[in-house]
Structure 1
Amino acid sequence: MHHFVSKILIVILPLIAEAQRSQDKNELLNWCLDAKHHKTAPGPESSLFEQCTPWKNRSCCTEETTKKLHESNPYNFNYDHCPGKKMSEDCHRHFLQDHCFYECSPNVGPWVVSETRSWRKERYWKVPLCASDCQIWFNSCANDYTCTDNWSRNFDWINSTDKCSSGSKCRTNVCPKGATCQTIREIYGNAQTFCDTVWDNSWKYTNNSRPCMRLWFDGTGGNPNDAVAQYYAHIISGAATCTYSVLWYTFQLMAIWHFNYIM
């Protein structure tokens, strides 16, 4: 049993150490990114819109933000950046779920790092994403088109013909000069490369046998990602020195995560 715990710690401690910004457990478990649309602290919402609904009991986003995600384009990001190609509804639904996670999840504390951009001062880095969720996302988008692998850094941004909500002109993303549009399957090759790369290492493809985040869940059994964040935060806060305490959190994680695994 001690050997089992040691193997777990060898795997997850280096991942945590790379990104942690705090050792305060309560802070790590209630972290909203310092970013444009996020609340300062997680809390309940009376309702959230469509794909963001599962986070309404404890959320870093507001209903207004989630409605904008579905009905408009708060960041003016163009998913249809390949000329003549429109992203499929199924693929777009998964990107909406990904965006809901970004705006709404209070469980990213163990992976938050600083960033200097006009719309945010923090981001999350290498959050462990369950391989099964990643594979479903990749399969849904495999035949859609893109022209670059890193969607956070590689696009060119030009003045858009659309107006921002403020009434001023916005900038939108276009394919880099000389880039060729290919299917997502051709650009990335496999699900792991896709999830690890598409948002500049925000996600880390993680085997389902290890503690990992669900991209989306139905919410009826609670938020399975609470237990995952608690597991990592417990280790960061110093509990890794207590074998039996880590084991207790392992069993808690397995019970809650397994309940929510089949949607």
Structure 2
Amino acid sequence: ETGAAAGDKLLSVCMNSKRHKQEPGPEDELYQECRPWEDNACCTRSTSWEAHLEEPLLFNFSMMHCGLLTPACRKHFIQAICFHECSPNLGPWIQPVVPNGQEEQRVWGVPLCQEDCEDWWRACHSSLTCKSNWLHGWDWSEEKKHCPAHEPCLPFSYHFPTPDDLCEKIWNNTFKASPERRNSGRCLQKWFEPTLSNPNVEVALHFAHHHHHHHH
């Protein structure tokens, strides 16, 4: 297989998961924070709506486990979910969920720009949580996610002393905190103005080529 074809497989693709479309394409009415991806999205309109629920079905976590997040904090979480569900630019970071598995995929180590981690962290500073890893270890009694016994609700800054901690721990290394800044072409923005073109396209291109030269 030619190098170009191998690299192209990493561009404009959707991960293989229950909610993602098989391939990206235009969506005319994505909801609120998911709107930036309308030109080319891996999410459907209904997934974009689900991303905004208080108990997102998507990552199986509750945004209300220690009471309401501040509106600014919650908005960052919704943007992060929209990015994960809708972005067609995550190809270089897609991995099988089970090693050597063919079926379900996830993303791993997606490099978020420094400002994205900082803004998210700042917005959530006064919100409360009982855990640093929101993917695992919840108490599932009564079908809802509760804090584990003896895990009190504490400020985010206790569980996430730095912006990097928040980006990397919250969904178990789905994201990596990049030292690079927005518009460097070396990191992904978890949200961008819907009227602008998608800044992550060129970043995926850079990493796809980089990935190609290292792995073949």
Please classify the TM superposition score into its range, dividing by the shorter chain length: 0.7 to 0.9
| Residues 61 and 135 in structure 2, CA contact (< 8 A), matched pair in contact too | no
Q: Encode CA deviations 1:14-65: one digit per residue, 9 max, x unaligned.
A: xxxxxxxxx8212100221111211000011112110000001010001121
Q: TM (normalized to structure 1)?
A: 0.72
In structure 2, what is the equivalent of residue 108 of structure 1? Answer: 90
| Residues 234 and 240 in structure 1, CA contact (< 8 A), matched pair in contact too | no
Distance 2:161 2:15 in 1: 31
| Partner AA of 1:154 in structure 2 | G
Change (3 A) 1:177 1:190: same
What secondary structure does 1:238 align onto? helix
Q: Encode CA deviations 1:106-152: one digit per residue, 9 max, x unaligned.
A: 11111111115xxx821111111101111000000011011011111
Q: TM (normalized to structure 2)?
A: 0.87
Distance 1:26 1:190 in 2: 35
How much does 1:240 deviate?
9.7
In structure 2, what is the equivalent of residue 139 of structure 1? Answer: 122
In structure 2, what is the equivalent of residue 19 of structure 1? Answer: none
Structure 2, unaligned runs of 5 or more: none
How much does 1:239 deviate?
8.6
Distance 1:127 1:63 in 2: 24
Alignment of 1:118-137 (within 5 A): 121-137=104-120
How much does 1:178 deviate?
1.4
What secondary structure does 1:201 align onto? coil
Q: Encode CA deviations 1:227-259: one digit per residue, 9 max, x unaligned.
A: 110000012223999xxxxxxxxxxxxxxxxxx
2:213 pairs with 1:223 = no
How many residues of Structure 1 are paired with residues of Structure 2 in the alignment?
203
Structure 1, unaligned runs of 5 or more: 1-22, 161-171, 242-263
Asked which structure has the greater CA Rg, the reply is 1
2:7 pairs with 1:25 = yes
> Which of 152, 165, 178 is 1:180 aligned to?
152
What secondary structure does 2:49 align onto? helix
| Residues 61 and 134 in structure 2, CA contact (< 8 A), matched pair in contact too | no
Change (3 A) 1:158 1:36: farther
Distance 2:92 2:142 in 1: 36
Distance 2:26 2:96 in 1: 26
Distance 1:68 1:109 in 2: 23
In structure 2, what is the equivalent of residue 65 of structure 1? Answer: 47
Report the structure, 1 or 2, having the larger helix content.
1
| Residues 29 and 45 in structure 2, CA contact (< 8 A), matched pair in contact too | yes
What secondary structure does 1:123 align onto? strand
2:71 pairs with 1:89 = yes
| Partner AA of 1:215 in structure 2 | K
What secondary structure does 2:97 align onto? strand
| Residues 30 and 107 in structure 1, CA contact (< 8 A), matched pair in contact too | yes
In structure 2, what is the equivalent of residue 246 of structure 1? Answer: none
In structure 2, what is the equivalent of residue 4 of structure 1? Answer: none
Distance 2:61 2:135 in 1: 10
| Partner AA of 1:30 in structure 2 | S
Q: Compare 209-218 and 142-151 and name the one that shifted more.
A: 209-218
In structure 2, what is the equivalent of residue 205 of structure 1? Answer: 177
Percent identity for Structure 1 against Structure 2: 35
2:172 pairs with 1:189 = no
How much does 1:186 deviate?
1.5
In structure 2, what is the equivalent of residue 49 of structure 1? Answer: 31
